[in-house]
Amino acid sequence: MVIMTSSLTFMPVLERIAEEVERTPGRGRPADYIPALAAAELRRFGMAVAELDGTVYGVGDWRRPFSTQSLTKVFTLALDLAREGDELWEHVGREPSGNPFNSLVQLEYEHGIPRNPFINAGALVVTDRLQTRTGDAAGELLAFLRAESGNRSLDFDKEVAASEAAHGDRNAALAHFMASYRNIDNPVPVLLDQYFRQCSVTASCADLALATTFLARHGIRTDGTRLLTRSQAKQVNAVMLTCGTYDAAGDFAHRVGLPGKSGVGGGIIAVVPGRCALCVWSPGLDERGNSVAGVAALDRFTTLTGLSVF
């Protein structure tokens, strides 16, 4: 095992991981249920590590933009938690779901309160509450990502948003069901528009690793201001660890040992508290919706560096 002694050793580790991934035969399949993502090239791979001071290292397609999808749920959660604090947890839980990310089953048993903020129902609740507080949840998210990444060109992908809207009946059902329990404040069409725009943001591994470093800095943004209290940053990291990779969170914790959040665009962000943030991207997914090469790369990163929360 290679134990890291300085930031200069990041590049050899990343290069070794990229070489190993290149030799990996199986890469899964893209999210073909979203037509705009179905044509993704399976051999694409990028990985970036951002240190607390904004220094960023990368390999492969680390500067190539991709569809962030559910990765944005982490940032929307942080933005709303910063505004309303613990009141948020009265409307969404913090427990693993054990069911697919778009399941309706648990909502009925639990009276319209989603299990956690990262399944679709929970993310809809968080987006709804941020929309109530800002008037433009997706715009607030985009401004945050631009500021934290330093990339002012980040934007929504209209084609992806339209594709999700055209195939968004399950999300509409989730929203209407929660509205019947008075757990949604805004009109469902408004909420869905905000949610689909949020998921359509396009960004690179470099952008997302940099944008995630506020969680490695225990809630402090790149400009030195505090977004979250240290306790709130701990809450977000904890929910990422236990709920961030759909119903494979236990396996991810076992293999990787870091708070992480995946998206069906093939990206995964991860946090080493007090040290750095990472983003890896490869569009081929396993049956649970997580990037096959991405999980393997993060597994190798923590093995080679010894950087883990355990």
The two structure tokens encoding residue 60? 């492969």
d(CA 132, CA 83): 11
Token pair 């059902």 in the structure block, residue: 173
d(CA 42, CA 283): 6
Instruction: Please state, as a whole number, how many other Cβ atoms lie within 10 Å of the Cβ of residue 8.
Output: 9
CB 114 within 8 A of CB 93: yes
Measure CA 306 to chain center. Answer: 23
Considering only the C-alpha atoms of the chain, give the largest distance between any 2 of them, rounded to a whole number of Å: 55
CB 53 within 8 A of CB 175: no
Among candidates 151, 155, 263, which has minimal Cα distance to 207? 151
d(CA 24, CA 222): 36
- Within 13 A of 302's CA, how many CA atoms are on the CB side? 22
User: Which positions are catalytic?
Assistant: 70, 73, 195, 246, 264
